[in-house]
Amino acid sequence: MRTEDPLAPARRNIELKARDPDPDRSSLVCESLGAKKRPDLVQRDTYFHVPNGRLKLREEPGGVAHLIGYERPNRTEERESRYRIIETENPTELKAALTDALGVVAIVAKQRRLFLWEGARIHLDRVEMLGDFIEFEAIAPPDSNLSSEESQIRGLRNAFSIAEADLIDVSYCDLALAGRSVEESSL
């Protein structure tokens, strides 16, 4: 199992999430940008009760599981996320221990089409019970002031013509807890 230096600063990225009213069109935009298609992913995120931020165990069939702790403000515009990722080769035992100690908040299952463009990740997500979403993540180097990552995310938002009404200010976990489908999330 690999882990980060606990004294090292958290990793950072700039993110933006929106409902995706036309996933086929979004795929075409990815192609027109020259974004590199990566293998599709099936992910199951188990969120745990924590006093600060969010903590989830991400499992992918046939892949290594990751425990991800992160903090991100709930707002619709591009926003900074600070996170730590720990690989685990025994997700079943880790999930049982965390469930016993913290309790489960929600489970979010999704299919993710992943594209890479100029260092940014483009996620075209179909989330069970919630609908279709698009998410951008621009990973920041440790010394970044985040201005280039923010600009990159704004550029992607423009390229995909994401309307203000489609922006999502919360996580999939929050949407699942609220029982809101993609159509309701923009109300």
Residue 25: what are its φ and ψ, rounded to 5°?
Answer: -60, -40
pLDDT score for 8: 73
The pLDDT confidence band at residue 142, using thresholds 50, 70 and 90, is confident
Domain boundaries defined on the chain: 12-186
Residue 85, both tokens? 């990722």
* Cβ-proximal residues to 14 (8 Å cutoff; 6+ apart), any chain: 78, 79, 80, 81, 137, 138, 140, 146, 149, 150, 152, 153
Whether pTM exceeds 0.85: yes
pLDDT digits (tens, 9 = 90+) for 63-93: 899 999 999 999 999 999 999 999 999 999 9
Which homologous superfamily does the CATH classification assign to the domain defined by 12-186? Hypothetical Protein Pfu-838710-001 (2.40.320.10)
Please give the average per-residue pLDDT across 150-179, as a whole number: 95
Question: What is the enclosing helix (H) or strand (E) of 139?
Answer: strand 131-140
Distance CA 151, CA 14 (A): 10
